[in-house]
Amino acid sequence: MTNTVSSTLDRLRILITNLENIPPYNIRSPSNQPCRASVAIIIRIRPNNLSHDNNNKFDFAESSTNKSLQSEGINNEQKTNLEDFWELPWVKDGEPEILYVKRALREGDRWSGQIAFPGGKQDKTDFDDLDTAERETFEEVGLDIGNRELFLCVGALDEREITSTFGKNLLMVLCPFVFLQLTKETPPIEISGSEIASTHWIPLSIFFDPNITQKWDPVSIDLSSRLAPNSWILQNIFKTLIGRMHFHCIGLPYSDVDGITTKKLKLWGITLQVTSDLIDVMYWQNEIPPRRLDAKRPKFDYWDMNFFVWFFLRNNRKNYKRKMSDLKTRRKIWAEGWREYFTATKKSCIIATIIRTLFALLLIRKLPRIIFIIEKKIINFTKRIE
């Protein structure tokens, strides 16, 4: 247990260093789609021994030096404060955890019932993307992450484009920010509104366990209703030609309210991709990280679709492997790989449709001959029996 906790704490410190030294990849919203959204990746250190410094649960947050912390990066004074933070007994003996929320089941919500990070769309009153993350988090779970005495924004991950199915339309630009909780005890979480169903603190160590992260556990989506929402005829055609799409999912174990029953949260889609970015930045630039959490691209029911997608992505795979030792480059290549994946998927759909259509036409053309041969064999077989 000690080795695991120690390694995840070290990875967390590497994350903060990398976020400081490597600027995130920023995306400017096009004029035709200015919508932006921000999420907050909140990390806390859960003390394993609550007897440490019980007289002052906000010991680090209440120090006079810490009140100078600002959100615009980590300056020299902040580095000193963080070094003091890592030396606190409850931090050295603690276990890092990440906050996830489960969205409520709501009709019309594209991400209804899914696991996500606190956050939401930018409002006209927001000063910037960071302000959006702080406001939305407070509205959804009641945590004042803008309070620099309680939380420190240690940086941002690469921004990413959120698109509709197959990357057809740009829905928004997503901006993920990383926050470190500076207090031993987490301020009370208060779910407000109808958007969030529950909140869950997941140990960081889980994401370094290949028995959990590399197990193929798919979430299956019926694409026909998305590709042709207003035509049942086209829906049935798409079901026949394309089938379902299966997304890689990581089952995050957690205890139910009784503290005994173990359940699993299904982490997949955009939240899995952002989590993968987070874990990827927890390795030094000269390290070769293990397989990404979202390394398994979505698959289809039919083998030919999977083969064509694999074939069209061969250059992206080779390019990514060549750049594995460069953190900044490899994460950009991987992000662009999703755009290439959607392009490969569309090409594969077209090719698979053409091949199946030609096969069907050939079958129809040869059908009379096939029926004649079958009938002849049946007659011969009947004569032998007689």
pLDDT at 22: 86
Query: What's the Rg (C-alpha) of the chain?
Result: 26
Structure token pair of residue 242: 């394309």
Contacts of 318 (CB under 8 A, 6+ apart): none
| Contact present, 202 and 252 (Cβ < 8 Å) | yes
Structure token pair of residue 383: 């004569």
How do residues 293-321 score in pLDDT, each as one tens digit? 888 888 888 888 899 999 998 888 887 77
CB pairs under 8 A, 24+ apart, for 362-367?
none
Of the candidates 106, 174, 171, the one whose C-alpha atom is nearest the C-alpha of residue 136 is: 174
pLDDT at 229: 65
Question: Looking at domain 1-47+75-213+266-285, what is its CATH homologous superfamily?
Answer: Nucleoside Triphosphate Pyrophosphohydrolase (3.90.79.10)
Q: Where are the alpha helices (DSSP H) in the chain?
A: 2-21, 76-86, 89-92, 129-141, 210-213, 224-227, 232-241, 269-280, 303-312, 314-322, 327-385
Beta-strand (E) ranges in 204-303?
217-222, 244-255, 262-267, 299-300
| Contact present, 290 and 311 (Cβ < 8 Å) | no
Mean residue pLDDT of the chain comes to 80
Which residue(s) pair with 172 in the sheet? 162
For range 354-380, the mean pLDDT = 75
pLDDT band at 258 (very low <50, low <70, confident <90, very high): low
Q: Rounded to whole angstroms, how far apart are CA atoms 357 and 194? A: 47
Least confident range of 128-132, 226-230, 287-291: 226-230
pLDDT at 339: 81
Which residue(s) pair with 248 in the sheet? 218
pLDDT at 130: 94
How do residues 178-198 score in pLDDT, each as one tens digit? 999 999 999 999 887 778 989
**What residue type is assigned to position 245 of the chain?**
M
pLDDT at 366: 73
Using a pLDDT cut of 70, give the percent of the chain over it.
Answer: 81
Question: pLDDT at residue 355 above 50?
Answer: yes
The total of other beta-carbon atoms located within 10 Å of residue 291's CB is: 11
pLDDT at 250: 92
Looking at per-residue confidence, does 327 or 183 come out higher? 183
The residue to which tokens 């649960």 are assigned: 57
Which residue(s) pair with 241 in the sheet? none
pLDDT at 204: 95
Q: Which helix (H) or strand (E) holds 378?
A: helix 327-385
Of the candidates 147, 95, 114, 121, the one whose C-alpha atom is nearest the C-alpha of residue 35 is: 121
pLDDT at 260: 61
pLDDT at 65: 33
Question: pLDDT at residue 54 above 50?
Answer: no
Question: pLDDT at residue 368 above 80?
Answer: no
For range 3-26, the mean pLDDT = 82
DSSP 323: T
Contacts of 254 (CB under 8 A, 6+ apart): 200, 202, 262, 263, 264, 265
Residue burial 335-354, b: 16+ Cβ < 10 Å; e: rest: bebbebbbebbeebbeebbe
Residue burial 21-41, b: 16+ Cβ < 10 Å; e: rest: eeebbebeeeeeeeebbbbbb
Domain boundaries, the chain: 1-47+75-213+266-285
How do residues 205-248 score in pLDDT, each as one tens digit? 999 998 888 887 888 888 776 666 677 777 777 777 777 888 98
Question: pLDDT at residue 59 above 60?
Answer: no
